[in-house]
Amino acid sequence: MRARKKRLRLPSGENTEAMETSIQRKLRQLQRMIPNCCYEMDLETMYPRIAVYILLLEVKVDVLKNLSILYGV
């Protein structure tokens, strides 16, 4: 069973400065989680790299699941 995807929650109201700060904070957190992700990297480069990283993690999980089934662990 897959976990639910969390939606990006933006601050309510029309305070765009708070929204930008929130988005920047979330992007910094995302950059810390992705290996070899530079802080100077632009969004157009960063998003595909993040997508590939997520896909690789999913493949690793599937391989580990199949190995555990194969070896009965």
**pLDDT attached to residue 54:** 92
At residue 40 the predicted structure's pLDDT band, cuts being 50, 70 and 90, is confident
pTM for the complete prediction?
0.61
Helix (H) or strand (E) holding 40: none
Confidence of residue 21 (pLDDT cuts 50, 70, 90): confident
Check residue 55 and give its pLDDT. 96
pLDDT at 6: 64
pLDDT at 67 over 80: yes
Q: How far is CA 28 from the centre of its chain?
A: 11
